[in-house]
Amino acid sequence: MIRLPTVSAELDQRGAAPFEGFIDLLPELYPLVHAHLELERHDDLGLVYRWRGRREAPDGPVVLMAHFDVVPVDESDAWTHPPFDGRIEEGWVYGRGALDDKGPLVVILDAVENLLAEGFTPARDVYLSFGGNEETYGGAAHRIAASFRDRGIVPWLVIDEGGAVVDAPLPFVQGHAAMVGVGEKGVLTLRLTARGEGGHASAPPARTAVGRIARAVDRLTPSTFRPRTPPAIARMLRLFADRTPGLPGILYRLLSRAPRLTARLFAAMGGEPAALVRTTVAATMQSGGTAANVLPSQASATLNLRIALGETVASTVKRVNRRIGDRAVEVEVVEGDEPSPESPTGNPQFALITAAVGDSHPDAATVPYVMMAATDSRHFHRFSPAVYRFAPIEMTAAQRGSIHGVDERVEVAALERGERFHRALLQRLQ
């Protein structure tokens, strides 16, 4: 799978051959899945397999999700093994997509194939939903979810990529934790544009188009958005308090009961803790000018924002405009998705995930949190109440850093335990 460069952002350059090659590979690797499950194709890059259960469950089916596209590779980066070689060495699989998201896709299909070989049939219908353009905002998954909604199928449980099994998730917290995303932040792309007087750079005006854009970006500091603690983070801290001895455990318990204090503290920490409690904004692209001695008549910058739960696209744009405070800077919404709701943790669905984690990773506590990135599951979360984001694979901090980066890799033993999670989850269905 890794050897097929299914880079959705480079679809126009590479063509559809890697994606069709991937789809053609699946019957070869998983013959029982293709013999027993019903396959639907949604446009060119959406695959849905239906595994009929022993009974018609009135409260809906289970949907297991993954995506088979990957992000581009910077050719100047120094990989230990070429990113599309799919090298297996000393118990590790190397390559782009090993963690995001071909590894999590493999463990789903491995579990289903192995259960079919044993003659197993799930208690209720199970759908496998695989998209080929998640990294370019998930058009395939959007259409798949719409097809469910149009047919009146409301899933009882949806599981997509997201959290993983991690070691020492917060300072002083001991042991492993299976981090299950119960909600995800919204995604917003904004383009800032300013116009100004063009001409020779030897006599610039007081405020140029580039200067206006630079000032606007500079005003969007990390404190642009007020921090707030989602309920999932408070629950996360309570669970960590139970696993943390001494004063740190007391501190986590205090923070779990004081959401305003938690929000301020996490915001002050910066990085991932801050991103858990507030909307983030980052300038990612800028343009303007044609020559070193020419004043451009127009300049622009592109912003990537991750909207905190409890806020909206509209409120975020309003806040950005107010913070910039310059009517000469136009703020355009290029693309926007609202934050998801929060799925509950006191329901049978979360209990099922916890039990399956107990089978596959018995030393890990199952802990809710909020996803900072976007997943295909957000399209289901618009109408399905129990959507969770969890890839049942151990990932070190270095491995998590390799996602979208250099030397992406997954341990073969971790894939085996991931298969065990999905097997247990499917066997425990009622």
Q: Read off the pTM.
A: 0.92
Q: How far apart are CA 394 and CA 272, in angstroms?
A: 19
User: Where are the strands (E) in 289-325, listed by range?
Assistant: 294-295, 298-307
* Burial state string for 18-35 with b = 16 or more CB within 10 A and e = fewer than 16: bbeebbeebeeebeebee
Residue type for 382, please? R
Q: How far apart are CA 420 and CA 100, in angstroms?
A: 19
Q: How far apart are CA 8 and CA 131, in angstroms?
A: 11
In this structure, whether the domain defined by 8-183+342-427 belongs to CATH 3.30.70.1400 is answered with no
- Comparing CA positions, the residue from 235, 182, 174, 221 lying closest to residue 384 is 182
Question: CATH class for domain 186-225+279-338?
Answer: alpha beta
Q: Where are the domains of the chain?
A: 8-183+342-427, 186-225+279-338, 227-271
Parallel, antiparallel, or unpaired: how do β-strands 294-295 and 387-394 relate? unpaired
Q: Using CA of residue 365, residue 367, residue 372, residue 375, what is the dihedral sign?
A: positive
What distance lies between CA 330 and its chain's CA centroid? Answer: 30
pLDDT per position in the chain (430 positions), as tens?
Answer: 999 999 999 999 999 999 999 999 999 999 999 999 999 999 899 999 999 999 999 999 999 999 999 999 998 999 999 999 999 999 999 999 999 999 999 999 999 999 999 999 999 999 999 999 999 987 999 999 999 999 999 999 999 999 999 998 888 888 899 999 999 999 999 999 999 888 878 888 888 999 999 999 999 999 999 999 999 999 999 999 988 999 999 999 999 999 999 999 999 999 888 999 999 999 999 999 889 999 999 999 999 999 999 999 999 999 999 999 999 999 999 999 999 999 999 999 999 999 999 999 999 999 999 998 889 999 999 999 999 999 999 999 899 989 999 999 999 999 999 999 999 999 999 9
* Apex 135 CA angle, 129 and 136, nearest 5: 105
Q: Is 378 exposed, middle or buried (0-12, 13-18, 19+ CB in 10 A)?
A: buried
* Apex 132 CA angle, 131 and 134, nearest 5: 75
Q: Which H or E run includes 145? A: helix 139-150
Interaxial angle between packed helices 259-269 and 231-242, expressed in degrees from 0 to 180 and rounded to the nearest 10 = 90
In the block, which residue shows the tokens 């060119």?
44
Q: How far apart are CA 424 and CA 223, in angstroms?
A: 44
